[in-house]
Chain A
């Protein structure tokens, strides 16, 4: 066991995969000599060389497009897009090739690659560096989408994603890159694809969150227990596609109430899909309307006021109390 933050845990997962898998490689802008602008790939080029840790030209469609070709030829590229706000420069490659090559070739070729990108607000960044657009990828058939919420999860889920034979979008909650440390086990872990995890048990209400939003969700749950004697279950969805419908339904069966938290804009955010599934499969167990504590349908506010946009423990707590009073 070793205590580490999310950046260190992701670095460890990459290191382990490169060591074990000669077909695994890293590519992206500044991932080599610089070690990535967030240092997630730090030290790897020294260990594995420029052939396996590839500094690319500044062109996102080129990065994803060539990674797709390498994956189709049997390699396992882990392509970094420096910020998720620049994945749009590669949108067409993701939608048209990454997600579809298996289908287009009737299974002859596959695209076992990962696109990593830091996403989300809270780091006082310039424009286009704070969005949460995970819903785009959830909408695309052929992709898998996962977001870790802690160092241990980051290390396990990144390894899981790299070893998958399907293309995986791996979004990294940059707000918590260095926010806290966690014990990470000695041996590498893989976690099942499509599984949520319970971060805190409770029977009064289910709070569904993922990525950085699990932190305010946990803070709210703590306050609810300490101040209001309300015991909220916090479910970390982790995999947005495929989604753990079973875990959602099981939790709602126990609690009967749900608050969904995400920082992405509310309309057609992944929370809408979570709510729809709960209504489809657990309506009878619902005792109150489902509440969403989400970002608003606005351009991500510039950083002096971003804290008013991002869901926080206070907003979540209020939503929980109102749902309980329904």
Chain B
């Protein structure tokens, strides 16, 4: 037989647990504890409301350009759920939900996106990487973190979040290959939100599912309904368990949609129709999850209102804390370049400080 199918031992599976009306597939329901489900709901709502608040602040000139994540809350909260604090989490720049879950304070995120160096400080008690601005560049680094876990032994894992556009970067391919070769305990969370700025998924690549990419590098890969927080949680848990068992990496394509502009500096009307956005509105991840929670009697409208009110208060307090911390410290810009500042840099700093004093004296 000269020609036959060569079995690579991997297939792309697709997973969704909640249908669009919020009904769960009973056999697949991960049966998460009630308190966990309510916490997930709360963080999804917080993520959305923080987004709304930040857009407002940005329009009022209190926030720099940033990338809102409305519609992607289920990807964030579902995927971060199985992580332990000692695991590594490497976010993208649109990962607010997972970051909040990991313990980034709201005022910290506000500081970061308002352009204060202090915002870069990582939260204590978790192994988090800073967000990645250069598309895909954090993915090989995340694999290196995974390789360090193998080097030392232990059952930590690494979750790295990147986009559909990022999947085209060579960095991501190199990272997938390294992870597959070394069986690094890495979960590649590729958040396919349909667009890389203006470029739709169909123009980004020639595959039907990005999960094929994972398969192509030899790792189990799954295409998941990214607007279904239960499916995200179940899929990530499975991948995390596999990594903890030292069975190597997993690729998860989370299929979702970016409901807002790419960043606050972007106008999506140039490249996509309202109709397309409206279609996805029906699949809203929070609405869907709320229907599920209501059907299980875990939450009602009054309960949702109460959570929303608590979040509003939390945001108000955080905004005050942010305002108090939002202090320019131009004298800090020379810090943290080296373990010990070399003399040639110290000399430049002295010059800078003298200029700075002059500039401040002149009211700049």
State the A residues within 8 Å of B (CB). 25, 51, 56-57, 59, 61-62, 64-75, 92-93, 96-97, 101-110, 141-142, 144, 164-166, 193-194, 242-243, 245
Q: Which of B117, B144, B170 is close to A67, meaning CB atoms less than 8 Å apart?
A: B144
**Complex Cα spacing A62 to B177, Å:** 9
The verdict on A103 contacting B144 (CB below 8 Å), with A59-B177, A61-B170 known, is no
The A/B interface has a contact count, at CB < 8 Å, of: 130
Stretch binding the partner chain, chosen from B48-56, B232-240, B333-341: B333-341
Contacts of A144 in B (CB 8 A): 338
Quick check: B339 and A243 within 8 Å, CB to CB? no
30 A/B residue pairs, CB under 8 Å, sorted by A: A25-B151, A57-B181, A61-B140, A61-B171, A62-B175, A65-B140, A66-B140, A67-B144, A68-B144, A69-B142, A70-B144, A71-B144, A73-B88, A73-B144, A92-B137, A92-B171, A103-B335, A103-B337, A105-B129, A106-B117, A106-B118, A106-B120, A107-B335, A142-B337, A142-B338, A164-B339, A194-B344, A242-B342, A242-B344, A245-B344
**Complex Cα spacing A25 to B134, Å:** 27
B345 close to A (CB within 8 Å) = yes
**Complex Cα spacing A166 to B340, Å:** 9
Quick check: A105 and B151 within 8 Å, CB to CB? no
Quick check: A62 and B140 within 8 Å, CB to CB? yes
Quick check: A66 and B344 within 8 Å, CB to CB? no
**Complex Cα spacing A102 to B336, Å:** 6
B189 close to A (CB within 8 Å) = no
Quick check: B122 and A105 within 8 Å, CB to CB? yes
* Min CB–CB distance A150 → chain B (angstroms): 24
**Complex Cα spacing A72 to B138, Å:** 12
The 8 A CB mask of B133-170 against A (1 = contact, 0 = none) is 01001111111111111010000000000000000001
* Min CB–CB distance B108 → chain A (angstroms): 11
Number of B interface residues at 8 Å Cβ cutoff, please give it: 39
**Complex Cα spacing A92 to B133, Å:** 12
**Complex Cα spacing A212 to B349, Å:** 34
Quick check: A102 and B177 within 8 Å, CB to CB? no
Q: Which of B134, B141, B175, B339 is close to A72, meaning CB atoms less than 8 Å apart?
A: B141
B314 close to A (CB within 8 Å) = no
- Output the nearest chain B residue to A110 by Cβ-Cβ distance: B339
Contacts of A68 in B (CB 8 A): 140-141, 144
**Complex Cα spacing A52 to B242, Å:** 24
Q: Which of B88, B144, B335, B339 is close to A66, meaning CB atoms less than 8 Å apart?
A: B144
The 8 A CB mask of B200-217 against A (1 = contact, 0 = none) is 000000000000000000
**Complex Cα spacing A68 to B129, Å:** 12
Query: Nearest 9 A-B pairs (CB), nearest first?
Result: A69-B144, A65-B140, A62-B174, A66-B144, A73-B148, A242-B342, A165-B339, A69-B141, A59-B174
Quick check: A93 and B178 within 8 Å, CB to CB? no
Q: Which of A66, A74, A102, A193 is close to B143, meaning CB atoms less than 8 Å apart?
A: A66
* Min CB–CB distance B114 → chain A (angstroms): 16
Contacts of A65 in B (CB 8 A): 137, 139-141, 143-144, 171, 174-175
**Complex Cα spacing A243 to B147, Å:** 34
B64 close to A (CB within 8 Å) = no
**Complex Cα spacing A103 to B335, Å:** 7
| CB-CB contacts below 8 Å: B318-360 with A | 335-339, 342-345
Quick check: B177 and A57 within 8 Å, CB to CB? yes
Contacts of B146 in A (CB 8 A): 69
Quick check: A93 and B337 within 8 Å, CB to CB? no
The 8 A CB mask of B99-127 against A (1 = contact, 0 = none) is 00000000000000000011011100000
